[in-house]
Structures are given as structure tokens and as C-alpha cells.
Amino acid sequence: MRLVKKNEEKILIKGIRVNLRITGEGKPFLILHGWGGSSDSWDKVQRLLSLAKYRVIVPDLPGFGKTKTPRKAWGVGDYGDFIFELTEKLNLDNFYLLGHSFGGRIAVKFAVSYPDKVKKLILCDAAGIKPKWYFKNKLIFTLARIGNAVFTPKLLSRFKDGARNFFYKFLRHYDYVKAEGTMKETIKKVLQEDLFPELAKIKIPTLIIWGRKDKLVPVKYAYDFYQEIENSKIVILRGIGHSPHLEVPDVLAAQIIGFLRNQK
């Protein structure tokens, strides 16, 4: 692969010194990484898009990579406001926006709040739709409420976090289990918000691209996004899991470039 000059910058937003990487020249393209990710995890895709004549910006979101954690817990809206300030400082307008997993939540929120700023939207294995409360989840929710009462006494309170982690594992919210401190409270706030009602508000041309073997955000949610977003296209990647940018960066980049160059 031909080398592309990589520029790492620091800018101050909301009192946080934010690390971001910028490569290439051309139409601006902003990538929002997933929970636990960073700008480094998108290196290969960023280079491929840069070679295709896009100016690709990938920030380390607050709490990840080389960007420090906010002093208080943020929700999806706080991250959306952060991205707005970022785009204002970088003079980004009419740009392409990609969100992966947790970054997909932010991308949805941003696209709904600032539709005039986004030219096209790409949602890659995006989170944001709360699972329906089937019997198992209802049972776990009930047990969790009982658990809160059981572990309230002082002698048992030290076991409360371990019990809570167990229930979040059952609900496949592994990010909560791994998070610490402020970020643990952040992921709790993030998981509380269901973005499904917001999807129909998105009128921007949207590419929904998903790994068929995604176990963290199962492929059935890809079809929910596709059904609710009117002007959308769906691509399912066979044999791929939750992280196409790491598993098949060349395939992902090719799909993105094809979508961006389609004038429809």
C-alpha cells in the first residue's frame, strides 16, 4: 500500500485535549470509532480512503485512546454535542460521517440533530437499538431489581458490583463490565437511550454495513436500521463479525468508496 502522510493533532474541546489523526486531501470524511476503540483501530481503512482522495479525520473520542475521560459521565447527546464542536473547530461542513458500534450511536444522534452538515452517513455494525424485552430479559430485569434490594444492607453491599456485572454479561453488555470509574457511569447512561424512534428522522443517504457473524450487535438490527431509514442501502458481509474495519479493511473501504461515488 502506498504511504499516506499521517498528521496527529491535539485540539481543546469542552475542556478536554482531544487527539485526532488526519490523512489525505479531498472531501472531508469523519470516522467515529466504537467503545474501547481509538483512531489507531481505523488506520488501514483511513489510509485506503485517503488514497481514494478523501480527507479522513479520526478522533480519539473522550475516554478512549489518547483523549482523557470527561470529569462527569456523558450520554449519547453529550458525545453528539462534542462532535458538533469538533466539526466547528475543524470547519467541517457537508462531510461524510461513519459511525461504528458505539460511534454509530453518536452518528445517528448527530445526523438527526445536524442533518445539513452530513452529506452521506455510514453505519457500520452500529449500536443504539434496545433489544426487545423477551421473557429472559424481563426475568433478568426483575432479578436485578430484587438484587438491588438484597445487596443494600451494609454487609452485602460489597457484592453488589459483582452481581451487577453478572447481569450485564447476561444482557451481552460486555462494555459495561470492562468499563471503570466515570466510563462505567457513561456506558450506563448510553445504554439507557433507545435510538430506534430517531431513525425515521434520518433523510440523508445512508449505507448500513454489517458483519453477518456479529455477536455483539446481531445482524437482525441491521435490518431494523434499513427498514426505518428511508433513503438507505444495506450490505451484509458474509463470514465477518463485529469489526469489519479490522477483519476486512479493504472490503469495507471498497464498499464505502462505491457508496460515496454513487450520485444517487
Report CA-CA distances (Å) from 150 to 141, 157, 169, 177, 184.
14, 9, 20, 21, 22
Q: Is the pLDDT of residue 157 over 50?
A: no
Considering only the top CATH level, what class is 6-130+189-261? Answer: alpha beta
Average pLDDT over residues 158-182: 51
Do residues 67 and 17 touch, judged by C-beta distance below 8 A?
Answer: yes
pLDDT tens digit sequence for 73-125: 999 999 999 999 999 999 999 999 999 999 999 999 999 999 999 999 999 99
Task: Establish how many alpha carbons lie within 13 A of residue 98's alpha carbon, considering only the half-sphere containing its beta carbon.
Answer: 30
Cite the beta strand spans of the chain per DSSP E: 6-13, 16-23, 27-32, 54-59, 95-100, 118-124, 206-211, 232-237
Cell numbers given for 179: 468499563
* Residue 55 backbone dihedrals phi, psi, to 5 degrees: -90, 105
CA distance linking residue 142 with residue 114, whole number of Å:
38
pTM for the full predicted model:
0.84
Cα-based distances in Å from 127 to 39, 190, 229, 232, 247: 18, 10, 15, 17, 19
Per-residue model confidence as pLDDT tens digits over 160-170 = 454 444 444 44
pLDDT in tens, 200-243: 999 999 999 999 999 999 999 999 999 999 999 999 999 999 99
